[in-house]
Amino acid sequence: MEVKRLCAALLLAGSLAGCATSGGNPADPLEKVNRVVFAFNDGADKIVFTPVAKGYRAILPGFFRTGVSNFFSNLEDVWVSVNDVLQGKFQQGLEDFTRVIFNSTFGIAGLFDFASDAGLPKHTEDFGQTLGHWGIESGPYVVLPFIGPSTFRDGFGLLFDYKADLVYWATDSVPIRNSLYATRAISNRANLLDATSVLEQAALDRYAFVRDAWLQRRRNLVYDGNPPREPDESDDEPTK
């Protein structure tokens, strides 16, 4: 279901590429369509997700929310280690897999993140980053319905992330699986509530701000925190 929606969104975005006029950013030729989807996501967020996340935060105690967040993060670490290996980062892959072993046992099914305290910090890896690691360009920026900012490459990567998601394999029962998805989404959204208030304050144009921040963030992740300087960046006054 979600995959179909994703494909449809990517196809839609792709087919509209020809007719959309480009705005300022060359990385965002689909700006017109993206802005519409962004506005839609924003509306859904305001009406549904933010209130639910706030309720979640108001009702449940901090240790419980951390536990939920840790639990899903631990499941995710399996795919993180696979992507480490796919990127040739064997040491990090071993460390991240050790995190899973450690947190699944001593951390009681991942509810506690003892590995971080033991000097094995969490990493963020996904298939989009793996593709980026091997030199695949991110392609045009695209805002996916409900999912949010992405690019052609990362959107394609999401299909693999979705299939490799342990929650997807955890159970045959669709209602249980969907409740797990929902819980994870609420937990993730609740973790971002503070960031949203900063974003509201920071941005003149939220769409452009989110886009430019997202693209920088992904680039940083692909290069594991040490991206080469863009020619643009080192020069205060680019001449062209």
Partner 1 sequence: MKIALCFLLAVLPALARAQTVAPDVLAKTITDEVTAALKKDKDIQAGDTKKAADLIEIKIVPHFNFTRMARIAMARNWRSATPEQQKELTAEFKTLLVRTYSTALVNYKDQQIDYKPLRPKPEDNEVTVKSEVKPSGSSQPVSIDYEMEKTDNGWKIYDVKVGGVSLVTTYRDTFASEVREHGIDGLIKSLAAKNREPLGSKAGRS
121 interacts with partner 1 by CB under 8 A:
yes
Q: Which is nearer to partner 1, 172 or 194 (CB)?
A: 194
73 interacts with partner 1 by CB under 8 A:
yes
Size of site (CB under 8 A) for partner 1: 50
- Out of 1, 58, 172, 174, point to the residue binding partner 1 (CB under 8 A): 58
Q: Which is nearer to partner 1, 116 or 183 (CB)?
A: 116
Q: Which is nearer to partner 1, 50 or 145 (CB)?
A: 50
236 interacts with partner 1 by CB under 8 A:
yes
By CB under 8 A, the residues from 78 to 117 that bind partner 1 are 103, 113, 116
43 interacts with partner 1 by CB under 8 A:
no
Q: Which is nearer to partner 1, 96 or 165 (CB)?
A: 96
> What is the DSSP code string of the chain?
-HHHHHHHHHHHHHHHTTTSPP-S-TT-TTHHHHHHHHHHHHHHIIIIIHHHHHHHHHHS-HHHHHHHHHHHHHHHHHHHHHHHHHTT-HHHHHHHHHHHHHHHHTTTTTTS-HHHHTT-------HHHHHHHTT----SEEEETTTEEEEHHHHHHHHHHHHH-HHHHH-S-HHHHHHHHHHHHHHHHHHTHHHHHHHHHH-SSHHHHHHHHHHHHHHHHHTTT-PPPPHHHH-SS---
Q: How far apart are CA 156 and CA 6, in angstroms?
A: 9
- Out of 4, 174, 194, 228, point to the residue binding partner 1 (CB under 8 A): 194
Contacting range for partner 1; rule: CB under 8 A; set: 6-14, 120-128, 140-148, 151-159? 120-128
Give least dist CB 75 to partner 1, A: 11
If phi > 0 it is left, if psi is from -120 to 50 it is alpha, else beta; for residue 88 that is left
By CB under 8 A, the residues from 140 to 169 that bind partner 1 are none
Which residues of this protein are in contact with partner 1, per CB under 8 A? 23-25, 54-55, 57-58, 66, 69-70, 73-74, 103, 113, 116, 121-124, 191, 193-198, 200-205, 208-209, 211-213, 216-217, 219-221, 225, 227, 232-233, 236-239
